[in-house]
Amino acid sequence: MLFRSLDTIKANARFFDNDISKVPQTSLTIGVGTVMDAVEVLLVVSGLAKARALQKVVEEGVNHMWTASCLQLHSHALIACDDEAAMELKVATVNYFKEIESRTAH
């Protein structure tokens, strides 16, 4: 669905030097049901600013406050992140996924 909401545009100005003229006027959004109906899902998480969100999505249960946590229930979801995004994860969580990655790389 394409949307154009002045409230959303104003809220996102912070990502564009607080210049509302730089904020895209439309974007594409889909619902959780559509994501869960997908055969495969890839979520890319980058940067320290997303570390808390990644921790909530991966280490806590499925929760309406962290919508992407529903990916815990998807049979073919992959979350890719950089080291900065993984900063809030428990060491055991990081080690677990790195071990899986090293086994599947062979």
pLDDT tens for 32-53 read 999 999 999 999 999 999 999 9
- Supply 101's token pair: 């990655």
Model confidence pTM above 0.85: no
pLDDT tens for 68-92 read 999 999 999 999 999 999 999 999 9
Phi-psi region at 90: left, alpha or beta (left = phi > 0; alpha = psi -120 to 50): beta
By DSSP bridging, strand 77-81 and strand 41-45 are: parallel
**Dihedral Cα 29, 36, 49, 92, nearest 10 deg:** 180
**How confident is residue 97, by pLDDT bands cut at 50, 70 and 90?**
confident
Across residues 7-26, what is the average pLDDT? Answer: 90
